[in-house]
Amino acid sequence: MPIFEYLERNASEFGSDVALVEINPKYEPSARMTWKNYALVEPQPGEPFRRELTWKQFDDKANMFANLLFTRGVQKGEKVAILLMNSIEWLPIYFGILKAGAVAVPLNYRYDASEIKYCLEKSDSSMLVFGPEFTGRIEEIVDRIPKVRELFYVGEDCPSFADSYERMIKFCSAEKPEVDITDSDDGVIYFSSGTTGFPKAILHAHRSLMHSCQCEQAHHGQTRSDVFLCIPPLYHTGAKMHWFGSLISGGKAVLLKGTTPELIIKTMSDEQCTIVWLLVPWMQDVLDAIDRGEIDLGKYKLSQWRLTHSGAQPIPPALIKRWLTVFPTHQYDTNYGLSESIGPGCVHLGVENVAHVGALGKAGFGWEIKLCDDSGNEVPVGEVGEICIKGPGVMKCYYNDEKATAETLRGEWLLSGDMGMMDEEGFIHIVDRKKDVIISGGENLYPVQIENFLRKNIAIKDAAVIGTPDARLGEKATAVIEIKEGYTLTEDEVNEFCLDLPRYKRPREIIFADIPRNPTGKIEKPVLRKRYCGTSVVAHQVEED
């Protein structure tokens, strides 16, 4: 069945319950704004702006947008792109596209004008929904995207080249659209994060969305009493697919527009959140703020908080052990997945396996996993192989890219590009991205292993290891290190710390600098390679405020 049937069930069975809350600490609503279809809570001085949407309002808004699309001649399978910051409008628009039988195409809000144009063309999008943050970028390309025949603007002060979403939708029916949709129909196109090149358009059928929903609920057992705090961008599979656990259970979700440690803890308390998915840097920032005395946990109501989970990058075991020391009653889970496998969950640690933290885990609900060599043969336990994935959430293809599809899909198996190793208990450990492996003097070096070691140093906030050119070795391991606030670290101290590594794994160059990460938490190694490869780099101490 299509995933929006869960939304319709929620609206029917508990329509007056709150489904979504938006909290924006920086947004000041103007006096002329009206929210007839939302519950608007005026912020008190010093308090963030807050909006609510019930399940009935959510479903009505989705139906209204679907019916608006019909007035503009949308056809089944037509592509409708979304370029919005996280907001209470985001998910109703997404579900409205699905209800209309169209294909939703979420776009990364960091894209510049040329990247937006590329993705619109690559996906064959004929309509675009965008917010005020993107007016300038869309204006740059509006005359060069002829296939995009409709532009819908969400916000105040609608530009002349678009139509106002708020003005038009109020005239649309909230009746359920009658569209015949099957599990095999095209549902969404997500773009890859682009950490290994320009983003690819990943096409998923409706069955992928449904499986992601069932997988998330199976792993984390959400109920109607759970409240999920959603911080990452909704354009990415990670945040939305974790929210799917709230959708299937009918639980409330809070969309938080901010990542400061105090704001996260305050929102967990104020909204009585029970589950949160946090990127590694956010977990580190929360713990560091607690250590510095900037957050007094005794001031907050946190006894309901039952689960913290993470993913999107290798998880340092030392960080989770530290987290569980500060929050000893929490369950913890590690999630692994790709946009090509509809986001998190194809491998997960499981809350019952916290003793194995550091491993990715085992095959998730409904998934099969194997590790293979370059010839497609499974490797023995303890040897490194590429993680291959099979299940109902595997993509249909890279849209409009047969060559890339053929390189990634082998029958029903998806080649992840990630190298892993299975231990004797069946737990899979991430080793590194296949393309990130450094070949130094004939030895294969896996940067993640070196990065995890470096992060054990109390002064190191983050670390990234890349291969840089070396006349004798071909490549050498270069470590880019970000130092924690309030600490100092020298190159000699790093080298001494690394004496516990095998000689061939020790970084041969140390650079002190900030680590660039994309919105989903992945280290942007192409940025680091561009910055440091082929240039003369001198190790330097990062200046501290």
Q: Tens of pLDDT along 379-405?
A: 999 999 999 999 999 999 999 999 999
pTM of the model: 0.83
Q: Which residues of 112-128 are buried (b: 16+ CB within 10 A; e: fewer)?
A: ebebbbbbbbbbbbbbb
Contact 254, 227 (CB under 8 A): yes
pLDDT higher at 33 or 213: 213
Q: What is the pLDDT of residues 339-372, one digit of tens each?
A: 999 988 999 999 999 999 989 999 999 999 999 9
Condensed to tens digits (0 to 9), the pLDDT of residues 437-454 reads: 787 866 778 788 899 899
* Amino acid found at 376: G
Which residues, in sequence order, are CB contacts of 187 under 8 Å at separation 6+?
Answer: 2, 98, 103, 104, 204, 205, 206, 208, 209
HEC profile of 203-249: EEEHHHHHHHHHHHHHHHCCCCCCEEEECCCCCCHHHHHHHHHHHHH
pLDDT tens-digit profile of 292-321? Answer: 999 999 999 999 999 999 987 778 888 899
pLDDT, one tens digit per residue, over 523-539 is 888 888 888 885 433 33
Q: Taking a C-beta distance cutoff of 8 angstroms, is the pair 275, 229 a contact?
A: yes
Residue 435 is given by DSSP the state G
Q: Which position has the higher pLDDT, 209 or 473?
A: 209
Please name each of the domains of the chain with its CATH number: 4-220 (3.40.50.12780), 437-532 (3.30.300.30)
Are the C-beta atoms of 483 and 512 separated by less than 8 Å?
yes
Structure confidence at residue 30 (pLDDT):
47
Are 152 and 129 within 8 A, CB to CB?
Answer: yes
Q: Is the pLDDT of residue 542 over 80?
A: no
C-beta of residue 433 within 8 angstroms of C-beta of residue 465: no
Closest by CA to 465, choosing from 474, 473, 453, is: 453
DSSP letter string over 90-135? HHHHHHHHHHTT-EEEE--TT--HHHHHHHHHHTTEEEEEE-GGGH
Residues β-bridged to residue 189:
203
Place of tokens 């450094």: 438
Residue 59 has pLDDT above 70, yes or no: yes
Condensed to tens digits (0 to 9), the pLDDT of residues 139-172 reads: 999 999 999 999 999 998 999 999 999 999 999 9
How far is residue 145's CA from residue 125's CA, in Å, rounded to a whole number? Answer: 10
pLDDT tens, position by position, 104-122: 999 998 888 998 999 999 9
pLDDT over 80 at 43, yes or no: no
**Would you state the pLDDT for residue 440?**
80
What is the phi-psi region of residue 280: left when phi exceeds 0, alpha when psi lies from -120 to 50, beta otherwise? Answer: alpha
Pairing mode of beta strands 331-338, 307-311: parallel
Mean pLDDT of the chain: 89
pLDDT digits (tens, 9 = 90+) for 165-212: 999 999 999 999 999 999 999 999 999 865 445 789 999 999 999 999
| Cβ-contact 139, 159 below 8 angstroms | yes
What's the pLDDT score for residue 305? 98
